[in-house]
Homo-oligomer: A and B are copies of this chain.
Amino acid sequence: MPDKWVYSFGGDLTEGRADMRELLGGKGANLAEMSSIGLPVPAGFTITTEVCTHYYGNENTYPDSLKKEVLEAIKLLEKEMGAGFGDIENPLLVSVRSGARVSMPGMMDTVLNLGLNDETVEGLAKKSGDARFAWDSYRRFIMMYGDVVLGVAHHDFEDILDSHKRDEDITKDTDVTAEGWKGVVAEFKELVERELGAPFPDAPEEQLWGAIGAVFGSWMVPRAMTYRTIHDIPHDWGTAVNVQAMVFGNMGEDCATGVAFTRDPANGENYFYGEYLVNAQGEDVVAGIRTPQSLTIQGKEKEGSRLPAMEEIMPEVFCQLNDVRHKLEKHYQDMQDIEFTVQQGKLYMLQTRSGKRTTAAALKIAVDMVDEGLITQEEALLRVDPQALDQLLHPTLDPMAHKNVLTKGLPASPGAACGAVYFSADDAETKAGEGIKVILCRRETSPEDIHGMHAAEGILTSRGGMTSHAAVVARGMGRPCVAGAGSIQMDYEEKKMIIGEAEIKEGDIVTIDGTTGEAMLGEVPTIQPQLSDDFNTIMGWADEHRRMTVRANAETPLDAETAKKFGAAGIGLCRTEHMFFDPKRIQNVREMIFSTNAQYRRDALDKLLPAQREDFIALFKIMEGLPITIRLLDPPLHEFLPHSEEDIQNFADTAGFETEKVRRRLGELHEINPMLGHRGCRLGVTYPEIYEMQARAIIEAAIEVQGAIPEIMIPLVATRKELALMKTLVEDTAKEVFTEKNATVEYTIGTMIELPRAALTADDIAEEAAFFSFGTNDLTQTALGLSRDDSANFMPDYIREGIFAKDPFATLDREGVGQLVQMAADKGRSARPDIKLGICGEHGGDPSSIEFCEDVGLDYVSCSPYRVPIARLAAAQASIKSGRRLGKSQTQPERRAA
């Protein structure tokens, strides 16, 4: 049990600090911090988040000593302010606000002007010399308190106010006189008494406890809970309550209120960006009834405004505020979002917090602050959210545009795209060929749809998760994708989709946002990406600070070019099967599958060899001097066969088979759980000629291209013996080629660790492997017994129930899958100290998972090309954090000194 529940701030006694955010909430901690660095903060106190936890843990009761501590804090506050709570002559008025660890804007309740009653309102009138102001404040208090604390509907108060204005024949609140407000107040109090059967509480202390209870109560209202669920905020964090002396920006023309950012949050420019209003309360700035004015002359000119800047009409206060701005930035070493009030010429700071900013601004501010000597490169790197870089790499929706959101699916591949919907890959390709922008809509995609996905601007599916085929392939291609939008009914027959009431037909225009998962009707304007110098500066610093290298998963020349452009240090996963789906080759692949013996299979494979060799030549040329990890054939053979009646007929006709024969083979190859079926090296074991052809293509290509660095990867290994067999096969093939060509080339052979058994026996397997690449997609599927294609049905329930904090296919499950990775890394190194370790699952592009990879000490991460910059930054952050944990103030000082 804590021995202290209440912390004072703002006067002679300031008990909190900025780093006490968990205890005091963000607002309370920062008020204390500002106060202790000498900024003008109205005095007050914070009731800690622990009281909230206690409240919910003890049937909505407070700790015993709370009352005493609050009373003492009020005594202190009265002394500080030279005013008394309930004092008729000189009343102390306070605000009561929530303040959680992280900001939850608008989610919880606030009460202002607390302490007013029929007697103190007269004291306020006298003190301010403005009776109208006093009665206006009083009626605002009753409205707020009545609504928030007492539960009287807000619109009932509004009705009274409206009828009063009608009676007086006026339209604006500002036209209501002091007497008018007095009448309104009386009616408000009657309303409350009628509704509750008890009078409005007069005693300030009773008012205070009511407000405190309301704030704590608002922590658990549905909208707050929903907000927290969406933003991954634990429900047990609780909120603090801040009680603070009121200051008024609306006491006259020497009063003002405003909000500001210490730099421009849109582009990061180092100028004082803010708005204010004279003789107004904070809510007026936000409400948009009056047009806010710019703080600075520079701002005024930028916006082409005629209204005077604060710099002009309140130069002294502005100067003071500008000092505060610099002081805060220097103190917090970050751009701040501040709120202030000027009461009768005196500046009061009401809030400061780290300012939200666009990614472009984040980059500029980070780079500038390093230049200004405010922060180190390391701190600059930690300031930028790697995920947010996606915004810079893909088109984004214009935030100002109107959106008619049809449904929401998973944000499967970032970026926004707009086009006409088509429901088959062939249609998508045809229409794209005619110059039409296309959104390909499918229940789910399969490798047969690749050409349509390539042709489309974006992909929308009604099934599948974050690592479904559509999602993975779209990310690889850099195409926006919304996946698993379960409320869509795709109707291929009628070429339409139904979403609730809406029916979207072939050719209709939709926009998808793969960053949010939204699908919208019609065209929503998008903004094209641009890479700034700041981006390049940050990336350069990231490269200096990271230990792990970053590779890309790529198999087409286009992917490889993109990967290289984004700074990939090689290809970590080249999926050879994607090359088999090429329409020109699929016929040969199918012939191979229909071969009844090894010789016929070999004949069919011989026809594929030249094309496969050309694939590798192209990649080796692009990635010259950089390693390429090439995975031999992985998917089960049935994935290459036709499935629809039409395709079966076509294939049978072309191949000269009976359709019955095709259907029989389909039946033979059908698998109940293809994920756990006849795939990976199991194909190599049963049909060695397939891997032989691939090994030959790789080695022949490598001989042809100067600087080729092939790393041949055997997939789905569960036992050492499998790898040993496949290794011998590859080595024998390589020897043959060397003899034929009278040339040699360096190459290595390794394996994916994607089955729990492989991780468990990694010491044994490492005896045969020059490298391990962690295939954490499949490792997650097997370790958790969870099909990524089928989990969308229940994953939302699992997240909601807190069973998984995050989708384990997006962020690596450290506790389970992570144990296997750690174990395999340790065992692998124990058997072969120089083994190269990397990750090539989707997690390779996820910052949290990358941090894990750093902790395990992997050598590289590999991700889809468009995530390479994200991974580079995330790897640098992971290095820095890991170095700090180890007590190094700077990572790699030797390199930076050089």
A positions within 8 Å CB-CB of B: 671-678, 682, 685-686, 716, 718-719, 721-722, 725, 754-757, 760-761, 764, 778, 781-787, 789-791, 793-794, 797-798, 801-804, 813, 815-817, 819-820
Contact A674 B672 (CB under 8 A): yes
A745–B102 Cα gap in the complex (Å)?
Answer: 47
Contact A797 B756 (CB under 8 A): no
Q: Which residues of B contact A781 (CB under 8 A)?
A: 673, 676
Contact B798 A784 (CB under 8 A): no
Q: Which residues of B contact A787 (CB under 8 A)?
A: 671-677
Contact A785 B716 (CB under 8 A): yes
Nearest CB of B to A666, in Å: 14
Q: Which residues of B contact A789 (CB under 8 A)?
A: 671-673
Name A785's contact: one of B676, B802, B820 (CB within 8 Å): B676
Contact B685 A718 (CB under 8 A): no
Query: Given A718-B785, A756-B782, A803-B722, A797 and B673 touching (CB < 8 A)?
Result: no
Minimum CB distance partner of A786 in chain B: B676
24 A-B residue pairings within 8 Å (CB atoms): A671-B789, A671-B790, A673-B787, A674-B790, A675-B676, A676-B781, A677-B791, A678-B791, A678-B794, A685-B794, A716-B785, A719-B803, A719-B816, A722-B803, A725-B803, A755-B784, A756-B816, A757-B784, A757-B813, A760-B783, A760-B819, A761-B815, A761-B816, A778-B785
A678–B784 Cα gap in the complex (Å)?
Answer: 12
Minimum CB distance partner of A469 in chain B: B672
Q: Which residues of B contact A719 (CB under 8 A)?
A: 803-804, 816
Q: Which residues of B contact A802 (CB under 8 A)?
A: 721
Contact A785 B672 (CB under 8 A): no
Name A783's contact: one of B778, B782, B804 (CB within 8 Å): B782
Nearest CB of B to A843, in Å: 15
Query: Given A782-B785, A797-B686, A757 and B817 touching (CB < 8 A)?
Result: yes
Contact B757 A783 (CB under 8 A): yes
Minimum CB distance partner of A673 in chain B: B787
A171–B394 Cα gap in the complex (Å)?
Answer: 96
A783–B733 Cα gap in the complex (Å)?
Answer: 31
Q: Which residues of B contact A804 (CB under 8 A)?
A: 719
Contact A803 B721 (CB under 8 A): yes
Minimum CB distance partner of A802 in chain B: B721
Contact A676 B673 (CB under 8 A): yes
Q: Which residues of B contact A682 (CB under 8 A)?
A: 794, 798
Contact B718 A786 (CB under 8 A): yes
A787–B670 Cα gap in the complex (Å)?
Answer: 12
Most buried by B among A673, A716, A802, A815: A673
Closest 4 CB pairs of A and B: A757-B816, A676-B787, A673-B787, A756-B756
A789–B725 Cα gap in the complex (Å)?
Answer: 25
Contact A801 B725 (CB under 8 A): yes
Minimum CB distance partner of A813 in chain B: B757
Q: Which residues of B contact A778 (CB under 8 A)?
A: 785
A721–B672 Cα gap in the complex (Å)?
Answer: 29
Contact B685 A803 (CB under 8 A): yes
Contact A718 B816 (CB under 8 A): yes
A716–B798 Cα gap in the complex (Å)?
Answer: 14
A755–B781 Cα gap in the complex (Å)?
Answer: 10
Nearest CB of B to A725, in Å: 6
A757–B722 Cα gap in the complex (Å)?
Answer: 24
Most buried by B among A716, A722, A785, A820: A785
Contact A756 B820 (CB under 8 A): yes
A761–B786 Cα gap in the complex (Å)?
Answer: 16
Nearest CB of B to A220, in Å: 19
A126–B783 Cα gap in the complex (Å)?
Answer: 79
Name A755's contact: one of B725, B783, B798 (CB within 8 Å): B783
Given A671-B789, A685-B798, A756-B756, 15 more pairs with CB closer than 8 A: A672-B675, A672-B789, A673-B674, A675-B676, A676-B786, A677-B787, A678-B794, A685-B801, A686-B793, A686-B794, A718-B785, A755-B783, A756-B820, A757-B785, A760-B816
Nearest CB of B to A461, in Å: 13
A603–B305 Cα gap in the complex (Å)?
Answer: 66
Q: Which residues of B contact A761 (CB under 8 A)?
A: 815-816, 819
Q: Which residues of B contact A674 (CB under 8 A)?
A: 672-673, 787, 790
Q: Which residues of B contact A672 (CB under 8 A)?
A: 674-675, 787, 789-790
A801–B719 Cα gap in the complex (Å)?
Answer: 12
Nearest CB of B to A387, in Å: 25
Most buried by B among A675, A722, A804: A675
Contact A678 B793 (CB under 8 A): yes
A815–B762 Cα gap in the complex (Å)?
Answer: 11
Minimum CB distance partner of A754 in chain B: B785
Contact B760 A820 (CB under 8 A): yes
Nearest CB of B to A215, in Å: 29
Nearest CB of B to A173, in Å: 46
Q: Which residues of B contact A757 (CB under 8 A)?
A: 783-785, 813, 816-817
Q: Which residues of B contact A755 (CB under 8 A)?
A: 783-785
A768–B309 Cα gap in the complex (Å)?
Answer: 64
Minimum CB distance partner of A681 in chain B: B803
Q: Which residues of B contact A819 (CB under 8 A)?
A: 760-761
A688–B760 Cα gap in the complex (Å)?
Answer: 35
Nearest CB of B to A872, in Å: 31
A676–B754 Cα gap in the complex (Å)?
Answer: 15
Nearest CB of B to A537, in Å: 42
A820–B760 Cα gap in the complex (Å)?
Answer: 8
Minimum CB distance partner of A800 in chain B: B685
Name A673's contact: one of B673, B716, B783 (CB within 8 Å): B673
Contact B673 A784 (CB under 8 A): no
Nearest CB of B to A754, in Å: 7
Q: Which residues of B contact A721 (CB under 8 A)?
A: 801-803
A790–B677 Cα gap in the complex (Å)?
Answer: 6
Q: Which residues of B contact A756 (CB under 8 A)?
A: 756, 782-785, 816, 820
Nearest CB of B to A684, in Å: 11
Query: Given A721-B802, A757-B817, A803-B725, A790 and B678 touching (CB < 8 A)?
Result: yes
Q: Which residues of B contact A816 (CB under 8 A)?
A: 718-719, 756-757, 760-761
A802–B722 Cα gap in the complex (Å)?
Answer: 9
Contact A673 B718 (CB under 8 A): no
A755–B797 Cα gap in the complex (Å)?
Answer: 20
Q: Which residues of B contact A801 (CB under 8 A)?
A: 685, 721, 725
A324–B840 Cα gap in the complex (Å)?
Answer: 69
A756–B785 Cα gap in the complex (Å)?
Answer: 8
Minimum CB distance partner of A676 in chain B: B787
Nearest CB of B to A781, in Å: 6
Query: Given A757-B813, A790-B672, A797 and B685 touching (CB < 8 A)?
Result: yes
A677–B820 Cα gap in the complex (Å)?
Answer: 22
Q: Which residues of B contact A794 (CB under 8 A)?
A: 678, 682, 685-686
A755–B783 Cα gap in the complex (Å)?
Answer: 6
Contact A790 B676 (CB under 8 A): yes
